[in-house]
Structures are given as C-alpha cells and as structure tokens.
Amino acid sequence: MDVKNKISRRKFLSLSLVGIGGISLLSLGALNKKPISKWRFFTENEVLILDALVEQIIPTDESMGARDAGATNFIDKQLMGPYQQFQKDYRDGLKLLQQSSMEKFNSKFEELNWENQTILLKLIDKDELKHSHWEKGADKKFFSMVIRHTMQSFYGSPKHGGNKNNVSYKMLKLDTPIIIGQNRYK
C-alpha cells in the first residue's frame, strides 16, 4: 500500500514536471507550424483561375454554381487519383489561359469582368483564339476537358468532392438519397 502510494506520487510528480516541459516545447513547435494548404495539387494561384473558369462553365443563378459547389476541389482531388494523367494538362493549360487573358485583355483571367471572361472562352470554344501560345487546337481541347470534369463534379456524387450538399440533385428535383422501400416479407 505504502510503497505503491510512494511510487505513484513520485511518478505523478515527475510526469507533471516533464509534462509541463513537454507542453511548452510542443506548443512552440505548434506555433511555428506552417498552415497546410487544403489543395492537393493546385497552387493558390491556379485555384483562382480555375475557380473563375468553372464558374463560367456552370454559373451561379438561383442555385449554386460550380465554384461554390466544389468543382475545383473535385478536380484537385481526382488529379491525385484517377486523373493523374491530366496533371500536366492542367498545369500547362491554366498557365496558357492566363497568358491568353493577359495578351487579349491585359488582365488576369480571374480579374476580368464576367463578359470578358465569356468572350475569351467563346473564342477558345469556337477555335478562334488567334494570336496565342497554344499549340493548334490545344486550347479547345483543354477547355473541353475542364467542361467535362466540371460537369462530373457538379452532377456526380458529392463524395468525389463536388456537388456540395447534393446541390445539383436538388436543382433537378431528384430525390437524393432515393426514397425507396424494400420488399417486405409478409
């Protein structure tokens, strides 16, 4: 009894002493911790361009648009998974889109007003963007890919990172999760 008590008291003392030391040390470490980016592949700058791009593809109206529904998050996530093959396309494509924007409007794409963003994208869509750094047809190809992925993010299952709170299913008045009964035994 006595011995046990002694040990536990000694243990308690030492534990608390070193514990306090540990707290101070680890807190210092925690203070120095850099904030971790929530993006897996994209840089913050790329996110700005892509957010603007996906919002053009599915704009906000009476219901949420692609940006707020997490399209960029979806693409970011898939690029580290099944869409690894498209990493380079995004890295290059976003850079070139920015260059085209600078060239045509002397402004960053994400800072262009809505109409000018649309004008630029329509040129790309019609394959009419003339003076440019893109290889022939590469701009349209890139844009088509982003359209495809944005649609997947917005109209696919939210578990892949987009379609926040089933926003598109609500928009389409599609019960999700589906209400359906089982076959009951009698």
As a residue count, the chain comes to: 186
Query: 146 phi and psi, to 5 degrees?
Result: -65, -35
16/87 with CB nearer another protein: 16
Tokens 């992925």 label which residue? Answer: 149
CA-based radius of gyration for the chain: 26
Q: Quote the Cα angle for 161-119-155, to 5°.
A: 25
Per the CB < 8 A criterion, the answer to whether 161 and 74 are in contact is yes
Distance CA 143, CA 162 (A): 19
Task: Name the burial class of residue 154, with classes exposed (0-12), middle (13-18) and buried (19+) by CB atoms within 10 angstroms of its CB.
Answer: buried
Which of 5, 30, 44, 137 touches another protein by CB under 8 A?
Answer: 30
Binding mask 125-144 for another protein (x = CB under 8 A): x-------------------
14 binds another protein (CB under 8 A): yes
Q: Does 116 bind another protein (CB under 8 A)?
A: no
Q: Which stretch binds another protein (CB under 8 A): 11-19, 43-51, 103-111, 130-138?
A: 11-19
**Site membership for another protein, residue 23 (CB under 8 A):** yes
Q: Is 7 in the site for another protein (CB under 8 A)?
A: no
- When asked if residue 166 is in the footprint of another protein (CB under 8 A), the reply is yes
Regarding 117 and contact with another protein (CB under 8 A), the answer is: no
Q: Per residue in 46-64, is it b (16+ CB within 10 Å) or e — as a string? A: bbbbbbbbbbbbbeeeeeb
Q: Which is nearer to another protein, 21 or 106 (CB)?
A: 21
Binding flag, residue 101, another protein (CB under 8 A): no
> Among residues 1 and 28, whose Cβ is nearest to another protein?
28
Applying CB under 8 A, the residues found at the interface with another protein are: 11, 14-16, 18-19, 21-23, 26-27, 30, 33, 36, 56-59, 61, 63, 77-78, 80-82, 118, 121, 125, 147-148, 150-152, 154-160, 165-166, 168-169, 171-186
